[in-house]
A and B are shown apart, each in its own frame.
Chain A
């Protein structure tokens, strides 16, 4: 398949304005003749639904949550980037663009990333106008912090609850449009299929989670804003119900899935404690601004700590290894996420990990408290320290925190062009559900920015171009046989789950999949392990479909049935992630292949052969997927080896 990215011609800084000018417009009085379905009402979906309704389109917005305000976006803590340069510290749109492209290890499109940096400034204005209570200085102007290794202060934040406040802003805009009648909000309803007819997306099939009723909805365009797929690893920092189903079912209907193996492992999470564990909690990365990461220098001390014979505070300075500061003298504890995570894994693999599991490193605030006083540290991180104490039952002001990397974000997702359209005309993907802007590694505070950029400032322009091209008459009724066929598909799948009546719970299959993914397709990967993982996933899939036990009925609230559908999709996705990781014979960003590293153990890219987006095409049940390549062109930045020494 020929992949057209539709990146506009012209100088980088003019691409987006030129493109906007070239897009077809829908005349204001015609907008009400178009129906748009928005699936997902997190940051991306809520901002898109509200903005499109304001323009006059008829929007139907779906969420499986009971309210848009519960979307996983609510949990983002740290902040959102914008190139405002309010601090006069040398920031600019170009610098934000440059940092983001470099941070993504040169595996994203220049045009997309530049546009993201360009609209970032409008996002802050919009959110403030909605009443988002960002942190402020005493003079009343907006405060910023530096985040995730950035060398300028460009991150806007609302205490440790930035995602919550941004989502509530978008939710309020959406709520206002519900009142005007331009948005029909449909909650506790899960999209289970996309309907494609005559080569275009025509609508979706949903299941009402309370009654179990299967329904069809038709529209001129469908927007998938359903978030990321980190829960393929079972344990992650994602909310428990985050899943890949909407994107995966769209993929099976013809939308290409790009770079599935690019996953981000976040270095500062609360370590796993036991087998019963259901999710992992992130401790904001801002902690690395003041906390120092270390493990005992010797295996012997580490073992004593694991057995409870020694405490962290018993070790003197020269018995500690501040391994990030040692290996990366200029960035120290602030190296990017992938580098920090991998190094934590190495020291634990060497047997120097702490906590009873040996899978943890220290994040120590003793020096910061000595330097700035407890009060200052409390003002900065009080809520995080409290959260830590609630979970671990230890006081981080007195004993160092324990952290370990955890799956956090997925850079891969549905392939989209510059207009955010997938390979199915009329089907769009926004937010974490698409692959577009973060390359092989996402920088801190840039996912919130991308979700809102897509929803507030990109899709309102680009969807109009498509709608104006097809015209209002080009819509298919839900009575059309393609809708009926899709409904039937969903119904048979439900029946299949309920009739297997095996012996193992859905949760248990999910956990087993997670173990395979984490072990062989996690922080570091190699060909042998990936091949092994592929076989294991295939076996797991067979076992799942013959031995899963789902109780209850299809025509009622049934959380076990919901979970079964999601796990079935995760298993298939898991296999594709492994294929993608195996096909990419290089290391880049979050994808670290052990065979491809520099002498110093850093990721070794192969720009001559792998400067492309891997876009996978579904070929039918149990058939290998087809790899399509979109080659990436760099005209404005020079590809260099990332170095944080």
Chain B
């Protein structure tokens, strides 16, 4: 099949970028979207042009590296899937496909389709953990955790930190990402001791990074490749509002 691509090219964070057109004539519908980019990059090298930079690694939807905004949608037309899980059979022969990087103040472009998502790490560093040192844990079966609670924690913990939620949100809010982590740890007994301080610190860091406010449109959850539910945002709001009322010491 043939495709016309319009791909965002930007040399680095200090220069302006633009969409550049490329044509590919013999693409197999069985190829993955990223394999199509491999083919394009091979052709560019042969022509003596620089390859298109993009993040990718596992190519099976779990590492969260890949991050393309395809025809106006985070990770493209398929729901519940990452860019690397998208195949060319999702497109028609002759289609024009526009590919851009995630757009958010908190995710500056590094080069072409690659963005800097270290803000996500800093949000976790602000409190997304249980404070337990190596070696100080007691026997794992001493604290039974009802299966439905463990399942709920797992639903939230599945987040792959790809940033599609931010890219899909008109306010570029990171609320679903933050809520998923707060929720994962808040429902488990191990995480409860710190749950209030954790929510406060993570939300404060999220604001400091320049993510937008949440207006609860739900676009994040629709575009989330792991289909993480909006319920977690509701829980975060409870934890966080609860925190505001009880906390004596809000640390950024």
Contacts and interface: CB of A to CB of B under 8 A. Distances in A.
Interface string A388-416: 00110100000000000000000000000
B184 A133 contact: yes
A457 B136 CA distance: 12
B42 A505 contact: yes
A129 B132 contact: yes
A161 B62 contact: yes
B184 A131 contact: yes
A507 B42 contact: yes
B229 interface: no
Contacts of B114: 557
B24 to A, nearest CB: 11
Interface string B89-100: 100000000000
Interface in A114-132: 122, 124-131
A133 B64 contact: no
A351 B180 CA distance: 50
Contacts of A133: 150-151, 153-154, 157, 184, 188
A172 interface: yes
A360 to B, nearest CB: 14
Contacts of A393: 87, 89
B140 A128 contact: yes
A88 interface: no
Nearest to A503: B46
Contacts, number: 215
Contact of B141 (A86, A164, A273, A276): A86
B144 A140 contact: yes
Contact of B53 (A75, A127, A142, A557): A557
B177 to A, nearest CB: 12
B157 A138 contact: no
Contacts of B138: 125, 129
A599 interface: no
Interface in A468-515: 503, 505, 507-508
B137 A505 contact: no
A557 B117 CA distance: 16
B45 A505 contact: yes
Contacts of B111: 556-557
B48 A551 contact: yes
Contacts of A600: none
A156 to B, nearest CB: 9
A68 B143 CA distance: 29
Contacts of B161: 67, 69
Contact of B118 (A54, A66, A141, A456): A66
Contacts of B60: 75, 279, 281, 387
Size category, B interface:
35 or more
- Majority secondary structure, B binding face: loop
A135 B158 contact: no
B237 to A, nearest CB: 21
A74 interface: yes
Contacts of B89: 393
Interface stretch (A175-183, A336-344, A435-443): A175-183
B164 interface: no
Contact of B62 (A66, A67, A74, A129): A74
A171 B56 CA distance: 19
Nearest to A135: B150
Contact of A131 (B50, B64, B185): B185
A96 interface: no
A407 to B, nearest CB: 15
A645 to B, nearest CB: 35
Interface stretch (B68-76, B119-127, B216-224): B119-127
Interface stretch (B25-33, B166-174, B239-247): B25-33
A75 B131 CA distance: 25
Interface in A331-373: none
B141 A141 contact: yes
A239 B57 contact: yes
B145 A140 contact: yes
Contacts of A86: 141
B23 interface: no
Contacts of B49: 551
Given A140-B144, A278-B59, A159 B154 contact: yes
B57 to A, nearest CB: 4
A80 B184 CA distance: 21
Contact of B120 (A67, A84, A164, A279): A67
B39 A125 contact: no
B189 to A, nearest CB: 9
Nearest to B42: A505
Nearest to B121: A67
A240 B56 contact: yes
Contacts of B126: 179
A141 B35 contact: no
Contact of B147 (A69, A136, A276, A552): A136
Contacts of B160: 164
14 contacts: A67-B118, A67-B120, A129-B190, A137-B147, A139-B144, A164-B158, A241-B57, A274-B28, A387-B60, A391-B85, A505-B45, A556-B11, A557-B53, A560-B41
Interface of B: 11-12, 28, 30-32, 34-35, 38-39, 41-42, 44-46, 48-51, 53, 55-65, 81, 85, 87, 89, 110-111, 114, 116-118, 120-121, 124-126, 128-141, 143-147, 150-151, 153-154, 157-158, 160-161, 184-185, 188, 190-191
- The 3 A-B residue pairs whose C-beta atoms are closest, nearest first, are A140-B144, A172-B129, A129-B137
